[in-house]
Amino acid sequence: MSENVRLLVVGAGQMGAGIAQVAAQAGNAVYLNDRSSELVDRGLRAIVKNLDRAVEKGKLTREDGDATLRRITPYLDWTPLDVDVAIEAASENLEVKLAIFKRLDEATPPDAILASNTSSISITKLAAATGRAERVIGMHYMNPVPVMKLVEVIRGIATSDATYAFVRDLALAHGKTPVEVHNFPGFVSNRILCPMLNEAIFALYEGVGSVESIDTVMKLGMNHPMGPFELADFIGLDTLLAILDVLYVGFKDSKYRPCPLLQEYVDAGWLGRKTGRGFYHYTGPGGAIVRNGAASSAPH
Mind telling me the catalytic residues? Answer: 119, 140, 152, 190
Kind and range of the H or E run holding 191 = helix 189-205
**The one segment of 5-13, 21-29, 69-77, 215-223 that binds ligand NAD by CB under 6 A:** 5-13
Residues 200/117/123/174 CA torsion (nearest 10 deg): -120
Q: Is 21 a residue that touches ligand NAD (CB under 6 A)?
A: no
Q: Which C-beta is closer to ligand NAD: that of 228 or that of 236?
A: 236
Strand order in 113-116's β-sheet?
72-74, 29-33, 6-10, 85-88, 113-116, 136-141, 150-155, 177-182
Q: Which C-beta is closer to ligand NAD: that of 15 or that of 85?
A: 15
**Among positions 89, 115, 218, 259, the unique one binding ligand NAD when judged by CB under 6 A:** 89
Alpha-carbon distance of 271 to 280, in angstroms, equals 10
**The one segment of 73-81, 106-114, 135-143, 192-200 that binds ligand NAD by CB under 6 A:** 135-143
Count Cβ atoms below 10 Å from residue 129 Cβ, excluding itself: 19
Cβ 136 vs Cβ 159: under 8 Å: yes
Q: Which C-beta is closer to ligand NAD: that of 21 or that of 117?
A: 117
Alpha-carbon distance of 197 to 273, in angstroms, equals 16
Burial class (CB in 10 A: 0-12, 13-18, 19+), 32: buried
Q: Is 183 a residue that touches ligand NAD (CB under 6 A)?
A: no
Q: Is 176 a residue that touches ligand NAD (CB under 6 A)?
A: no
Q: Is 91 a residue that touches ligand NAD (CB under 6 A)?
A: yes
Q: Is 33 a residue that touches ligand NAD (CB under 6 A)?
A: yes
CB of 238 to ligand NAD, least distance (A): 7
CB of 236 to ligand NAD, least distance (A): 5
Site map (CB under 6 A) of ligand NAD, residues 204-243, x = contact: -------------------------------xx--x----
Alpha-carbon distance of 245 to 92, in angstroms, equals 11
In the chain, the amino acid numbered 175 is G
Q: Is 143 a residue that touches ligand NAD (CB under 6 A)?
A: yes
Alpha-carbon distance of 56 to 259, in angstroms, equals 41
Residue least distant from ligand NAD (Cβ) = 13
Q: Is 196 a residue that touches ligand NAD (CB under 6 A)?
A: no
Q: Is 276 a residue that touches ligand NAD (CB under 6 A)?
A: no
Q: Is 273 a residue that touches ligand NAD (CB under 6 A)?
A: no
Kind and range of the H or E run holding 138 = strand 136-141
Cβ 28 vs Cβ 83: under 8 Å: no
Residues that bind ligand NAD (CB under 6 A): 10-16, 33-35, 39, 89-92, 96, 100, 117-119, 140, 142-143, 235-236, 239, 274
